[in-house]
């Protein structure tokens, strides 16, 4: 039976949303609670689904996009607090695990050697304040791979150093969603802190690579490519698992392109590239305009449907999608790959809780 839950409004600045509550909640809290967590920068709940599946109870959420709040409310029956910069950390309940897929905001650090105070004015500072006050057993952070290189590696170094100053043993690793059962080449940095133990990434169980074609819909309102394109007779699987099989016949990049190299993916702007459904899909971006990639599947060239985008992020079929197409696309591109988060959370539970 589907459980009906009254929405919980956290804090004082809750936005009232018009999501009807007399419909079933696909992801109610677990019955046998084994640990608690908070869901910062919650988006549409990519952390929350796998954490709940592992019997974690979410005791606080924070997300300022009204569209994402709507989707969150519809799927979890609760509305997150809004802007984290307006959050009084004392209203956050005690919790075992703090999760945050914090926005990849350009970071400038004052460098005054004041520890985490140096990050004041950035969103990670607000996360550190919650950690300082509540000292959760585990801190579980996620960000784009580029964080490793941002400001010549300084940004990541500061985040790790600050967590250490807050009393955590920290480990970090770049992981690829394609190693966890979804056909997407999506690399993300995962940072994990615990009070005494170092998280062992080598214990994560990986899965064989999947191919995109097994995650596609059979019947839908497909958007086919309706203009000239070139398919390569000679193509190969790239080490990443992508198969660049063709391109729209648009102008190629000029700078640094040698004659005879137009069959290489990098000379074609992202929205012009075509990838085979026999390989992986490139990482879904958070803006539809920056390129929903074309795929070559069963002799046709088309775009992924929104449902297929949610499939290759590992969202369960019961997940309720709300909002217009470009908003849905933004939300899923911003989210996390659920099977990868679930495997990490499983190991967090086994090693650290």
Ligand X SMILES: C[S@@+](CC[C@H](N)C(=O)[O-])C[C@H]1O[C@@H](n2cnc3c(N)ncnc32)[C@H](O)[C@@H]1O
Name the one residue in this structure whose structure tokens are 């609670």.
33
* 44 is an interface residue for ligand X by CB under 6 A: yes
* Spatial CB neighbours of 4, under 8 Å, sequence gap ≥ 6: 21, 22, 24, 25, 77
CA angle 249, 255, 258 (to 5 degrees): 75
Q: Which residue is nearest to ligand X (CB)?
A: 43
Least distance from ligand X to the Cβ atom of residue 71, Å = 9
CB of residue 327 vs ligand X: minimum separation in angstroms?
11
Q: Which residue, among 331, 340, 342, has the nearest Cα to 309 in the 3D structure?
A: 331
Judged by CB under 6 A, does residue 185 bind ligand X?
no
Please state, in angstroms and rounded to a whole number, the distance separating the CA atoms of residues 65 and 297: 35
Judged by CB under 6 A, the chain residues 96 through 115 that form the site for ligand X are 101, 103
**Nearest 10 degrees: Cα torsion 312, 316, 321, 325:** 10
Return the number of the residue (19 or 267) whose C-beta is nearest ligand X.
19
Among positions 25, 51, 59, 62, the unique one binding ligand X when judged by CB under 6 A: 62
Known catalytic membership, residue 104: yes
| DSSP secondary structure of 170-226 | EEEEEEEGGGGT-SEE-EEEEEEEESS----GGGPPP-PPP-GGGG--SSS---B--
Please check whether residue 290 is in contact with residue 261, taking contact to mean a CB–CB distance below 8 angstroms.
no
Question: Is 47 a residue that touches ligand X (CB under 6 A)?
Answer: yes
Q: Closer to ligand X by CB, 65 or 178: give it.
A: 65
Q: Are 262 and 277 in contact (CB under 8 A)?
A: no
Give the x/- contact pattern for ligand X in 117-156, rule: CB under 6 A: ------x---------------------------------
Q: Contact between 78 and ligand X (CB under 6 A)?
A: no
Q: Binding string to ligand X for residues 295 to 334, with x set by CB under 6 A, is what?
A: ---------------------------------------x
- Residue 63 binds ligand X (CB under 6 A): yes
φ, ψ of residue 174 in degrees (nearest 5): -85, 125
How does DSSP classify residue 79?
A: B
Please report whether residue 83 would count as binding ligand X according to CB under 6 A.
Answer: yes
* Chain centroid offset of residue 276 CA: 23
- Contact residue for ligand X among 52, 65, 129, 178 (CB under 6 A): 65
Among 14, 54, 64, 204, binds ligand X (CB under 6 A): 64
Q: Judged by CB under 6 A, which stretch of 22-30, 59-67, 146-154, 205-213 contacts ligand X?
A: 59-67
Site map for ligand X, 186-205, x if CB under 6 A? --------------------
Closest CA to 168 of 114, 210, 222, 132: 132
Contact flag: residue 25 with ligand X (CB under 6 A): no
Q: What residues act catalytically?
A: 104
Judged by the rule CB under 6 A, the positions of this chain that interact with ligand X are 41-47, 62-65, 68, 83-85, 101, 103, 123, 334-336
């Amino acid at each position: 039976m589907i459980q009906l839950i009254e929405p919980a409004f956290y804090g004082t600045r809750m936005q009232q949303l018009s999501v009807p509550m007399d419909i079933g909640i696909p992801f109610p809290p677990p019955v046998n609670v084994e640990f608690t967590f908070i869901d910062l920068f919650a988006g549409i709940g990519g952390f929350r689904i796998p954490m709940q599946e592992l019997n974690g109870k979410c005791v606080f959420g924070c997300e300022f996009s009204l569209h994402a709040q709507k989707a969150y409310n519809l799927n979890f029956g609760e509305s997150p607090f809004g802007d984290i910069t307006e959050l009084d950390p004392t209203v956050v309940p005690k919790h075992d695990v703090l999760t945050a897929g914090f926005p990849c905001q350009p970071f400038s650090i004052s460098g005054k050697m004041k520890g985490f105070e140096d990050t004041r004015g950035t969103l990670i500072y607000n996360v550190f304040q919650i950690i300082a006050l509540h000292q959760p057993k585990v801190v579980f952070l996620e960000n784009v791979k580029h964080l490793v290189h941002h400001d010549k590696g300084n940004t990541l170094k500061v985040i790790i150093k600050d967590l250490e100053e807050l009393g955590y043993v920290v480990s970090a690793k770049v992981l690829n969603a394609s190693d966890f059962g979804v056909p997407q080449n999506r690399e993300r940095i995962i940072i994990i802190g615990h009070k005494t133990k170092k998280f062992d990434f080598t214990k994560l169980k990986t899965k064989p690579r999947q191919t995109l074609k097994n995650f596609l819909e059979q019947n839908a309102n497909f958007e086919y490519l309706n203009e000239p394109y070139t398919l390569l007779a000679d193509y190969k699987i790239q080490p990443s698992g992508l198969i660049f099989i063709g391109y729209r016949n648009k102008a190629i990049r000029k700078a640094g392109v040698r004659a005879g190299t137009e069959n290489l993916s990098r000379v074609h702007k992202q929205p012009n590239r075509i990838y085979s459904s026999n390989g992986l899909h490139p990482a879904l971006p958070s803006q539809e305009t920056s390129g929903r990639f074309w795929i070559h599947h069963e002799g046709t060239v088309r775009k992924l449907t929104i449902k297929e985008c949610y499939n290759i992020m590992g969202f369960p079929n019961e997940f309720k999608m709300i909002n217009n197409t470009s908003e849905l696309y933004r939300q899923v591109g911003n989210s996390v790959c659920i099977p990868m988060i679930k495997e990490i959370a499983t190991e967090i539970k086994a090693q650290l809780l």
